[in-house]
Amino acid sequence: MPTYKAPVEDALFLLNDVFQIERYNNLPGFADATPETIEAILAESAKFTEHVLQPLNRVGDTEGCTRNADASVTTPKGFKEAFKAQGEGGWLGISMPEEFGGQGLPKVLSTIIGEFQVSANQAFSMYGGLTQGAVASLLVHANDDIKKTYVPKMIAGEWTGTMNLTEPHCGTDLGLLRTKAVKQADGSYKISGTKIFISAGEHDLADNIIHLVLARIEGAPAGVKGISLFVVPKFLPKADGSVGEHNGVTCGSIEEKMGIHGNSTCVMNYDDATGWLIGEENKGLPAMFVMMNEARLGVSVQGLALSEVAYQNAVTYAKERLQGRSISGVKNPDKPADPIIVHPDVRRTLLSIRAFNEAARAFVIWSALRADVARKGNDEKEKQAAEDHMNLMMPVLKGVLTDTGFANTVAAQQMFGGHGYIAEHGMEQFVRDSRIAMIYEGANGIQALDLVGRKLGQNGGRAVMTFFNDVGAFIKENAEDEAMKPYIAPLKASLGHLQQATMWFMQNAMAKPDNAGAGSNDYMHLFGLVAMAYMWAQMAKAAQKKLANGANGASDRLNAKLVTGKFFMERMLPETGAHLARITTGADTVMALPAEAF
Amino acid sequence: MPTYKAPVEDALFLLNDVFQIERYNNLPGFADATPETIEAILAESAKFTEHVLQPLNRVGDTEGCTRNADASVTTPKGFKEAFKAQGEGGWLGISMPEEFGGQGLPKVLSTIIGEFQVSANQAFSMYGGLTQGAVASLLVHANDDIKKTYVPKMIAGEWTGTMNLTEPHCGTDLGLLRTKAVKQADGSYKISGTKIFISAGEHDLADNIIHLVLARIEGAPAGVKGISLFVVPKFLPKADGSVGEHNGVTCGSIEEKMGIHGNSTCVMNYDDATGWLIGEENKGLPAMFVMMNEARLGVSVQGLALSEVAYQNAVTYAKERLQGRSISGVKNPDKPADPIIVHPDVRRTLLSIRAFNEAARAFVIWSALRADVARKGNDEKEKQAAEDHMNLMMPVLKGVLTDTGFANTVAAQQMFGGHGYIAEHGMEQFVRDSRIAMIYEGANGIQALDLVGRKLGQNGGRAVMTFFNDVGAFIKENAEDEAMKPYIAPLKASLGHLQQATMWFMQNAMAKPDNAGAGSNDYMHLFGLVAMAYMWAQMAKAAQKKLANGANGASDRLNAKLVTGKFFMERMLPETGAHLARITTGADTVMALPAEAF
């Protein structure tokens, strides 16, 4: 059975030593987030995720969700109690506004807790994650009545939320959606249509389920400019806030899928269901887009979280499994064999996963802090820079962290040999669960296209130029620091590759957009590597500083940081050259064949 | 529901135009394999695999195998009839000796048919594949009595075979195995112990199951030098060849696993089971090793086969699914959206898979022909070169084709968006099924270590030098051919990277073996890329020649070959530089941390 230990120390190192969270004390909510408070909350979250959520991960996979004859859905044993405990513990409201029952703490904190929850139990975490996403959307766009009716109960975990976008013929291309909304005399709408792949669409964890639904108001323009956003509760709320009659929305079936079996993925049928407009008519898509950056950050975290828990279990196995002898001489003479962690290829695998995990965690925390500034900042220039960061980096984070996170679960599974293929060790579940994150919230190919086709050129390339300047400045500042050389030189080379690739797009993709499309995936991964190298350089700097100051008993951990960062530079960063080479071959060969030739 | 069409034309192009099978006419069995005979057999195999095996693939996954209370195992509906048809059709005996009921045709033919079978139904194909492996082992090592008793029935598919190596504490490191054999007065042995992960260990497809079992004879030396090989039938054969009493071997349980659900993976309990020695006492491991190259070739083919069927289904979906518009202008003005195959990133993905598939198929066919020469050649020097090839290339083929084949099933699944995650489309089954090939028959980390630690230096590096010379000669021959430039220049550069990496090992791994271990995975993939580039250069040459000779109506297909080969050179081969960079960083960082730091 797999185990999990939340990486509290690593998160604290990032918050305190690398990103120095005390610098943000002038922002709302940050003053309350003292180092002691943060440590206490993370420690408590570690307990809850390790002892309550993680033990339910396997049963969630084996039992899955069941749709009953009356269209209700039963979740796996133990999920209901755990969800209640999660709500009562306040875990859904950490970064939610205090006026609706939240704790008003920084987004970065709920992001870190999100990682712990997903590592412990991805399928379970989605019920709360989608609820938080729906709340965020309501907070920005809904009127006060709707907010008051729904948000406090959702933050308390008494009600949950969903997002209803996809239809059978319409996934990425939302302009094709057909679900219709007909305005009623009382200002409400009747919603009809079919939505698919609705995570947490129906279940038995909460008293009500609040669906956010994209639909087309009768007579609205075709395409994406005729889409509106509605709130459609499963049970219509009564004036006193309790639940009333069942609305015209039911779960038609639940999907048989590769993983995340503990989460119910539903076909939802809307049949004259009563709903209320959120925001303006025909502005549903922009309303969704506002939330999309944070939703993408959440999915990025899933990539990291599964990579982390898979790593931890692979390490345990590699230390315990005795098989073969070290090629540099027997390490375990009293035993019939050495533990497999003596083998360089096993270490290479483990370090690859770890070097990604620690850089990805830094990238996530850095970006969550930027999200806090974007939402709460009081300096307009800083706010804009933070928004630029979110727009530019979210496709990179989502695409790279979920692609690599998935690949890492596969690599961790490989450490187990045949035992990794067997269900009881839980490694194959990590692979099946993590696979979804590459797909939902915009498939990774779409993330790459969003990056090169939209984000790169936005505002004259302001965001990417800022990133280049920031990294360049860091390189310059540390150019003379001998101890930083193993990190700075590779960072500089890889930044050069990224800049060349960016320049190549500028020169070759304007006239021929296929050149951007053909290089988009490589560019996204090249960008991700450079961003992670920048994270590693900053972590190395912080670790060296802390070591120089006495390390406070953490010198083993800090030395491991330095080695892992060096591994990243030596073994993972060389890929940037290959990405650049591929990008600059352009689209000619990629587009040469007629479709029939495939 | 997924579909499959066997790539008969591509196989014929490779056999006839690239590798010119008629050059082998002096070898036994090859004279019978006229181009017409080969084409007829492959066409017939295509029919059988497409219409009989493929339709059972999904039911195999959903039903799986069931162990009954009496320890018997029931296979999925339809498997029994299909297995009977396979035996009666002679599909297990294509390359088996005629004296035992086979057809005596070249190994290359059964290898190609093997690809078709696995693409259509991997779990099903394993019952026959393991039987063929067991037969091959018996043919080399067993005495005539045993051969006569078992082999004809196995080739006919009336009895099946298994390989029993792994024990709970002993996978890669067979020296640890404990299953014991006690010699009886009549020359037979009593075998006792537990074996795990035994594919096709128990089932209802055949009248008898013939287990080949590694065990330790009482008093044998410790470690790998005390292991012997035994044949242990489920039912003891009677003198008339019919089955007699049940032997002391039973299926203790079947494993819950990630994929290949249609194949029963058993824990086999041996309790004083009667067995007979195969080959010499304590020479069980060398006896197994003789068969290992061909078994590895078979597993390599699984990587290719799943990549191929996943590609075919991704192409169909990419042509049908309407979503979004081409960034270079609307392609489908009468429809609400363009098919997704207009998008460069979709094409990049499809071409990556295809460029691998066609090169991998060439690599497999080239190597199967070498296996034929190794077995049947009449020139000692040629035979030795063929054996060298098998020894050197099998870890490369096994490791690279299964790693990349799996990654390709994931990439193909990604083309389907959310629909790829849902079971009904069958794409997620390809991912789950193909995953095992990276693990069994020697996990890929072991393949890489076998390559750098053993094969590279064997006989003073004779095999690798021959490969370098062959590729070098091809480059030289074609250096002046303008049409070949897009293939020759990248091949030359990548060969240079491989030679530099090889040289680096020679200079750095003798004194410090960890340098080899730390670079082994990169080296294996670097080698695979160069070998596939060599395949592409030869395919391009053959295609150009055929086009120049009138193409015989195949010009579209041959032009597609040339484009796909160019794609390989531009987009996939640049990785060799990154592999070289990683290798030459050595083991210092990889080995720097104490085990406790993980």
Give one DSSP letter per residue of A313-341, joined into a string: HHHHHHHH-B-S--TTS-S-TTSSS-BGG
Q: What does the pLDDT look like over A205-226, one tens digit per residue?
A: 999 999 999 999 999 999 999 9
Chain A residues touching residue B435 (CB < 8 angstroms):
410, 413, 421, 428, 431
Backbone angles phi, psi at A47, to 5 degrees: -60, -50
Interface test with A, best of B198, B348, B454, B529 (most A CBs within 10 A): B348
For B461, counting Cβ atoms within 10 Å of its Cβ (0-12 exposed, 13-18 middle, 19+ buried), the class is middle
Residue with tokens 């944070």: A294
- The pLDDT value recorded for residue A425 is 94
Q: How far is it, in rounded angstroms, from Cα A494 to Cα A477?
A: 17
- For B448, nearest residue in chain A (alpha carbons): A345
Pick the catalytic residue: B308, B441, B482, B596?
B441
pLDDT, one tens digit per residue, over A365-375 is 999 999 999 99
Please give the pLDDT value at position A289: 77
CA distance B16 to A305: 51
Each residue of B445-459: pLDDT tens digit? 999 999 999 999 999
Which residue of B lies nearest to A557 if distances are taken between CA atoms? B597
Q: Residue written as tokens 């999990």?
A: A4
Q: Which residues pair with A522 in a beta bridge?
A: none
Residues 6+ away with beta carbon under 8 Å from B381: none
A306, A309, A315, A321: CA torsion to nearest 10: -90
In this predicted structure, what is the pLDDT of residue B35? 94
Q: Given the residues A50, A294, A441, A480, select the one marked as catalytic.
A: A441
- The answer to whether B395 touches B458, Cβ cutoff 8 Å, is no
Among B327, B335, B60, residue whose Cα is nearest residue B203: B60
Chain B: give the shortest CA distance to residue A567, in Å: 6
**Banded pLDDT at A1 (limits 50, 70, 90):** confident
Band (pLDDT 50/70/90 cuts) for residue B1 is: confident
Phi and psi, residue A270, nearest 5°:
-105, 120
Whether residues A582 and B571 touch (CB distance < 8 A) is answered with yes
pLDDT, residue B406, reads 98
Of residues B322, B422, B598, nearest to A315 (C-beta)? B598
- Cβ neighbours of B518 in A, within 8 Å: 344-345, 347-348
The verdict on a CB contact (< 8 Å) between B521 and A345 is yes
Is the pLDDT at B477 greater than 70? The verdict is yes
* Residue A544 pLDDT exceeds 70: yes
Residue B290 pLDDT level (bands cut at 50, 70, 90): low
What is the interface size between A and B, counted as CB pairs within 8 Å? Answer: 257
- E strand spans, B299-354: none
Note the pLDDT tens digit of each residue in B329-360: 899 999 999 999 999 999 999 999 999 999 99
Give the residue on B whose Cα is nearest the Cα of A556: B597
Average pLDDT over residues B364-368: 98
Q: Among partner residues B324, B521, B559, which is closest to A173 by beta-carbon distance?
A: B324
User: Which residues of A fall within a CB distance of 8 Å from B421?
Assistant: 257-259, 435-436, 439
Q: By three-state DSSP, how is residue B575 classified? A: helix
In this complex, do B173 and A323 lie within 8 Å of one another by their Cβ atoms? yes
Contact A577 B582 (CB under 8 A): no
Locus of tokens 């590694």: B214
- DSSP 3-state of B65: coil
With an 8 Å Cβ cutoff, are B513 and A328 in contact?
yes
pLDDT over threshold 80, residue B291: no
Mutation for testing the A interface, residue in B345, B505, B570 having most A CBs under 10 Å: B345
Q: Would residue B441 show up in a list of annotated catalytic residues for this protein?
A: yes
**B177 to chain A: which residues are within 8 Å by CB?**
none
Q: Which pLDDT tens digit goes with each residue over B169-227?
A: 988 888 899 999 999 999 999 999 999 999 999 999 999 999 999 999 999 999 999 99
CATH T-level fold of B159-282? Butyryl-CoA Dehydrogenase, subunit A; domain 2 (2.40.110)
Separation between Cα atoms, residue A230 and residue A228, nearest integer Å: 7
What average pLDDT is seen over chain B? Answer: 96
Chain B CA closest to residue A331: B595
Express each pLDDT in A18-28 by its tens digit.
999 999 999 99
The answer, yes or no, to whether residue B312 has pLDDT greater than 80, is: yes
pLDDT band at A566 (very low <50, low <70, confident <90, very high): very high
Name the packing angle between helices B344-376 and B380-414 (round to 10°): 160
Q: Cβ separation of B345 and A598 shorter than 8 Å?
A: no
pLDDT for res A592: 97
Q: What is the pLDDT of residues B59-93, one digit of tens each?
A: 999 999 999 999 999 999 999 999 999 999 999 99
Q: How far apart are CA A16 and CA A545, in angstroms?
A: 13
User: Is residue B280 over pLDDT 70?
Assistant: yes
Buried (b) or exposed (e) across B122-138, using 16+ Cβ within 10 A?
Answer: bbbbbbbbbbbbbbbbb
CB contacts, 8 Å: B197 with chain A: 418
* Per-residue b or e along B337-376, where b marks 16 or more CB atoms closer than 10 Å to that residue's CB: bbbbbbbbbbbbbbbbbbbbbbbbbbbbbbbbbbbbbbbb
Please report residues of B whose CB lies closer than 8 A to that of A510: none
* CB-CB neighbors (< 8 A) of B420 in chain A: 439
Residue A488 is predicted with a pLDDT of 98
Print burial letters for A270-293: b (CB count within 10 Å at least 16), e (below 16). Answer: beebbbbbbbeebbbbebbeebbb
Is B327 within 8 Å of A453 when comparing Cβ atoms? yes
Host H or E run for residue A588: none
Could you tell me how many residues make up chain B?
598
Nearest CB to B436; choose among A169, A336, A421: A421
pLDDT digit string, tens, across residues A480-535: 999 999 999 999 999 999 999 999 999 999 889 999 999 999 999 999 999 999 99
| Closest residue in B to A442 (Cα–Cα) | B417
Whether B552 has a pLDDT exceeding 90, the answer reads: no
Please count the other Cβ atoms lying within 10 Å of the Cβ belonging to residue B424. 13
Q: What is the C-alpha separation between B169 and B590, in angstroms, rounded?
A: 27
For the cut 90, the answer to whether the pLDDT of residue B514 exceeds it is: yes
Residue B254 structure tokens: 């079947």
Amino acid identity for residue B349 in this structure: T
Across the interface, do A428 and B258 touch by the CB < 8 Å criterion?
yes
A62-95 pLDDT, tens digit each? 999 999 999 999 999 999 999 999 999 999 999 9
Q: Return the residue matching tokens 């990190």.
A: A487
| pLDDT greater than 70 at residue A290 | no
Cα(B115)–Cα(B51) distance, integer angstroms: 15
Sign of CA dihedral B379, B380, B383, B385: negative
Which CATH number among 1.10.645.10, 1.10.540.10, 1.10.260.40, 1.25.40.10 corresponds to the domain B8-147?
1.10.540.10
Q: Tell me the pLDDT tens digit for each residue of B100-118.
A: 999 999 999 999 999 999 9
Tell whether the model's pLDDT for residue B364 goes beyond 70. Answer: yes
Spatial separation of the C-alpha atoms in residues A43 and B296, rounded to whole Å = 49
